[in-house]
């Protein structure tokens, strides 16, 4: 699967030729304190969204971590489409995709956390809005 698009984003967005980062499942577990229920900040068709701290390079980032649940109404096609679409876009009105984890049955998306926005609306419906 390619993470690049053939066309740069419109002028209101910046284009990043670098794909987002692939995290290990261990990194995701650490960031979410093993998917602690007290860290759940939203739910959607994809599954639960957790607030966590993820290490990206030498920086610890506040993140919204979206985990696919078994029996979810969304699946692998939507997961990879969201990665491909959002990994190349950066815009002040879009939540940035930091990375993802695909490890066996585990599919997780990692976004920057936007504390002043309704994450359930932004993160849980992002595939439907595209």
Rounded CA-CA distance 83/106 in Å is 15
Phi (first) and psi of residue 119, to 5 degrees: -65, -35
Rounded CA-CA distance 76/2 in Å is 15
What number of residues does the chain have?
130
Residue 48 annotated as binding site: no
Contact between 101 and 108 (Cβ < 8 Å): yes
Task: Show binding-site residues for ATP.
Answer: 66
Task: Show binding-site residues.
Answer: 66
């Amino acid at each position: 699967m390619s993470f690049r698009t053939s066309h740069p984003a419109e002028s209101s967005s910046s284009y990043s030729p670098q794909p987002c980062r692939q995290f290990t499942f261990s990194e995701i577990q650490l960031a979410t304190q093993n998917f602690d229920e007290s860290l759940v900040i939203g739910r959607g068709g994809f599954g639960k969204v957790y607030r966590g701290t993820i290490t990206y390079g030498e920086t610890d980032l506040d993140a919204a971590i979206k985990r696919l649940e078994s029996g979810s109404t969304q699946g692998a096609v939507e997961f990879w489409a969201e990665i491909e679409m959002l990994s190349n876009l950066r815009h002040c009105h879009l939540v940035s995709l930091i990375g993802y984890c695909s490890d066996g049955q585990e599919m997780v998306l990692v976004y920057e956390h936007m504390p002043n926005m309704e994450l359930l609306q932004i993160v849980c419906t992002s595939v439907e809005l595209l």
